[in-house]
Amino acid sequence: MLFVSNAVRSQDVNIAIKFQVDNGNFKDSKVTMSENGVVKSTFDPAKAKMDIGLTFGNVYMFTFEKPGYITKRVEVSTKNVPNDIRGEDLDFDFAVEIFEQYEGVNTVIFNQPVAKWFYNPQEDEFTYDTDYTKSIRSALIDFEKQYEEKKEAAQSSGTDQAQAKAQEEARLAAEAKAKAEEEARKLADTKAAEEQRKKAEEEKRLADIAKAKQAEEAAAQRELEEQRQRELAAKQEAETKAAQMKAEEDARKALEAKAEEEKRKALAKADEEQRAATMKAEEEARKAADLKAEEEARALADQRAAEEARKAADQKAAEEARQQAAAKLAEEERQKKKAQLEEEMRLADEQAAAEEKRRAQLEKEEIERRQREAEAKREAEERAAAELAASEEKRRLAEGARLEEEKRRQEADALAFEEERKRKAKEAFEAEQRRIAQAKAVSDAQQRERSESVAIMQEERKSLAIKDAGNVVSRTVEEIEEDNRKITQITITRERMTYVYKKVVYNWGGVYYFRDDDDITKAVFDLESSK
């Protein structure tokens, strides 16, 4: 969405952009803002004026486009703004107008920005780069000539061609819309099928997990039930054996009691006959019986102790078997969870590796794209500089004749003053050139800053020279309307010199300032032409 004016106040710098579409509306138009080469926002402008907030320390590129129209770009750098003034009002504005695209018109110049804005420390404000504008001026003038010729030819081609073009555009738009709808439908179907497939796979995976878990629980339940049955059978067997042993012991005791009774009766009967003889035998028999009874009692106690020990051993073995089964089941569950976690980690690692590979490929493609753009930009700048030099030489020769005639009317002391001023400017320029020649090893960014400082120093020297020219005698303003531009010419005559200031506004949005055909900044123009 587009930034609104009351929302951008939290930004560092606020700019107001006036966007116009020549002979058209904002339908299908688009404004893209990139920050340091990365697309930050895309606007669908609903009105001509846009308020946008920027942050310090970045380079922004604004791209203005619409199907069938020439795309334009404007660069804004918010770097190198001192910290002590970042809280001040540094807002500024600029205007951009795009034109219809005509076949046969060379628009390569618009592959680079039509203007570059940056913070000027000498003026404490954002200004456009006059050196850059001067370097592309020749190419822009050539484009304007070609464009006007093609525009007149297109306008004279008649209503039929316009209607045919409109019909063709409508047909193409309908085809594009149908194609977009078909692609959207296919994409939606593919996405839905993919989502359905993933959902089915997930449901199957969950079902398999649930099924495996149920099988494991059933196996564990069966194992526990079998263990319980074994323990119950062992208990029943032990109880049965104990009952049998008790029955055998009771039977043995009954037989022993019966035999003892029969023996007692026999002894009682014989006692009468052989009382004296048998008393000793009876005593010995009694002792033998007591000894036998003691032996049998010890044997029975040993047998019961052995049975209880065996029973305890069986219970212990059953408990150990149950614990081992539970431990085995827990270990299997832990191993399954560990394998599942390792598989998930492996898949995550594969996805991260694939993402890293894709990101590296994108970064490589972006670096190659920027290198190609930089090479194309450098070639375009070299061509534009060469064309600009040739155009400047022609303009200088043409304007020289007019200026020479005007200068003849100046007083002799003004001529001498001008010669002295030129000599000083030349000496300053030569000294500056020597200083620049000694610093060729400095980086490109430092060279540009030094060149800007030199330009500012030269402007300041010119301003000082103008002050030495004396007070203002007269000031005249003339407005000149041409096909592709509007010129505001201000002539100021001082006591010892006359200066001609020009403000040139082109239809495509460019604005330039001159003093005696030399480039100056807006601040210098406003300062000197207002006196």
Task: Fill in the DSSP letter of residue 6.
Answer: T
* Residue 107: partners with Cβ closer than 8 Å, 6 or more residues away: 70, 101, 143
Q: What is the pLDDT of residue 4?
A: 35
Q: How far apart are the C-alpha atoms of 46 and 21, rounded to whole Å?
A: 12
Q: What is the pLDDT of residue 8?
A: 38
Q: What is the pLDDT of residue 456?
A: 56
Whether the CB-CB separation of 477 and 489 falls below 8 Å is answered with yes
User: What are the tens digits of pLDDT across the range 81-117?
Assistant: 998 888 788 888 988 988 888 777 777 878 889 899 9
Residue whose C-alpha is closest to residue 421's, from 503, 515, 491, 501 = 515
* Residue 494: partners with Cβ closer than 8 Å, 6 or more residues away: 466, 469, 470, 471, 472, 473
- Identify the residue whose tokens are 């007083």: 411
The SS3 of residue 127 is: strand
Measured CA distances, 35 to 38, 110, 226, 237, 271 (Å): 5, 19, 73, 88, 134
User: Whats the size of the chain, residue-wise?
Assistant: 531
Question: From the DSSP assignment, how many helices (H) and strands (E) are in the chain?
Answer: 5, 14
What are the structure tokens assigned to 86, written together? Answer: 């970042």
Whether the CB-CB separation of 463 and 472 falls below 8 Å is answered with no
List domains and CATH numbers for the chain.
Answer: 8-156 (2.60.40.10), 410-529 (no CATH)
Measured CA distances, 273 to 281, 284, 429 (Å): 14, 18, 170
C-alpha R_g of the chain: 54
Q: What is the pLDDT of residue 448?
A: 62
Task: Fill in the DSSP letter of residue 66.
Answer: -
Q: What is the pLDDT of residue 5?
A: 36
Q: How far apart are the C-alpha atoms of 61 and 86, rounded to whole Å?
A: 21
What is the H or E stretch that residue 288 is in?
helix 159-408
* Residue 150: partners with Cβ closer than 8 Å, 6 or more residues away: 102, 103, 104, 105
- The distance of Cα 175 from the centroid of its chain, to the nearest Å, equals 34
b/e map of 421-437 (b: 16 or more CB within 10 Å)? beeeeeeeeeebeeeee
Q: What is the pLDDT of residue 442?
A: 57
Q: How, if at all, do strands 115-120 and 472-481 pair?
A: unpaired
Q: How far apart are the C-alpha atoms of 363 and 510, rounded to whole Å?
A: 35
What are the structure tokens assigned to 69, written together? Answer: 């129209």
Residue whose C-alpha is closest to residue 512's, from 495, 489, 531 = 489
Q: What is the pLDDT of residue 461?
A: 45
What is the H or E stretch that residue 116 is in?
strand 115-120
Long-range contacts of 105-109 (CB under 8 A, 24+ apart): 105/143, 105/146, 105/147, 105/150, 106/142, 106/143, 106/146, 107/70, 107/143, 108/380, 109/136, 109/139, 109/140, 109/143, 109/380, 109/384
Task: Fill in the DSSP letter of residue 106.
Answer: -
Whether the CA torsion 304, 309, 310, 315 is positive or negative: it is: positive
Model-level pTM?
A: 0.33
Q: What is the pLDDT of residue 46?
A: 66
What are the structure tokens assigned to 359, written together? Answer: 């990101």
Whether the CB-CB separation of 129 and 81 falls below 8 Å is answered with no
User: What are the tens digits of pLDDT across the range 2-42?
Assistant: 333 333 334 689 998 888 888 878 888 889 999 999 998 88
Tens-digit pLDDT string for the chain (531 aa): 333 333 333 468 999 888 888 887 888 888 999 999 999 888 877 666 788 889 999 999 999 999 889 899 999 999 999 988 887 888 889 889 888 887 777 778 788 898 999 999 888 889 988 888 888 887 888 888 877 877 777 666 655 566 666 667 766 776 777 777 777 777 777 777 777 788 778 888 888 887 887 888 888 788 888 888 888 888 888 888 878 888 888 888 888 788 788 878 877 776 777 777 777 777 777 887 778 777 777 877 777 777 877 887 778 877 787 888 777 887 888 888 788 878 878 887 788 788 888 888 888 888 888 888 888 888 888 888 888 877 778 888 878 777 777 777 767 666 777 778 778 777 767 776 776 666 555 556 566 665 565 555 555 445 545 666 778 888 999 999 988 899 999 999 888 888 899 999 988 888 899 988 888 888 888 888 876
What are the structure tokens assigned to 398, written together? Answer: 């043409």
Measured CA distances, 269 to 55, 206, 262, 266, 275 (Å): 135, 93, 11, 5, 10
